[in-house]
Amino acid sequence: MLKRIGILGGISHESTIKYYELILKKYFEKFGNYYYPEIVIFSLDFQKFTDFEDNNETEEYIEYIMQGIRKLEASEVDFIVMAANSPHAVFEPVKEKAKVPMLSIAEITAVSAKQLNLRTLLLLGIKFTMQSTFYQNICYAKGIEVITPNESEQNCINEVIFEDLCIGNFNQNVKDKLLAIIDNYDVDGVILGCTELPLILHQEDSNKVFLNTLKLHSEATLEYALQ
């Protein structure tokens, strides 16, 4: 029997939808039938969630995430993924409080980078993610350096994510802004460290390796459900 998947989503809804879609599409590609794993999604209040991030209210942030985790646990899920990068800044304390296993998007991404022999990565995401250290710490343990854009570029990326990508605005002007920032850095690869970024940035857009965290996390979720 497949494990029941719990997805903590709504952060934002655009990427949560893709998690659901990618997991089921990948299953059908592998097996060609409709015996899909059961999936439970609990969608958080996106503004409330980001307010805790913006105000550095860590205790309240963890508590709000745990409210969602408890709802998923009450639905008898077998494991949980958080369908966003930023809450992984508090992955360890959340994991310790959770009663079921959790899969880390940062660990999965770092393993992929190691397999691809990438040594230096540029991290893109919301400012909260870029100014956190969880990606740097996990990648450093695997011999991989992670750098971030400068402050003005971080402001630009943050604005694009919240004002465009989170509401489904994926136009060429938005893509060009992001690619211009990427071109400023001599790195082996780029961590698309916001699960909205792979919705507009694709591998064919650059000669640098893109680490699609949404895809990597979704595929790992399915594989864990199949174990």
The tens digit of pLDDT for each residue in 172-202 reads: 999 999 999 999 999 999 999 998 999 999 9
pTM for the whole structure? 0.94
Cα gap 28→155, rounded to integer Å? 39
Alpha helices (H) in the chain, listed in sequence order:
13-31, 46-54, 58-74, 91-97, 105-115, 127-130, 134-140, 151-163, 172-182, 213-226
Q: Two tokens at 102?
A: 């959790």
Contact 20, 214 (CB under 8 A): no
In whole angstroms, give the CA distance from residue 189 to residue 114. Answer: 11
User: Could you report the per-residue pLDDT of 4-16, keeping only the tens digit for each?
Assistant: 999 999 998 999 9
Q: Which residues pair with 120 in a beta bridge?
A: 145
Looking at residue 149, the DSSP 8-state letter turns out to be -
- Over the stretch 34-61, which tens digit does the pLDDT of each residue have? 999 999 999 999 999 999 999 999 999 9
Domains of the chain are 5-104+216-226 (3.40.50.1860), 106-212 (3.40.50.1860)
Query: With contact defined as beta carbons under 8 Å apart, do 26 and 222 qualify?
Result: yes
Contact 156, 181 (CB under 8 A): yes
77-130 residue pLDDT tens: 999 999 999 999 999 999 999 999 999 999 999 999 999 999 999 999 999 999
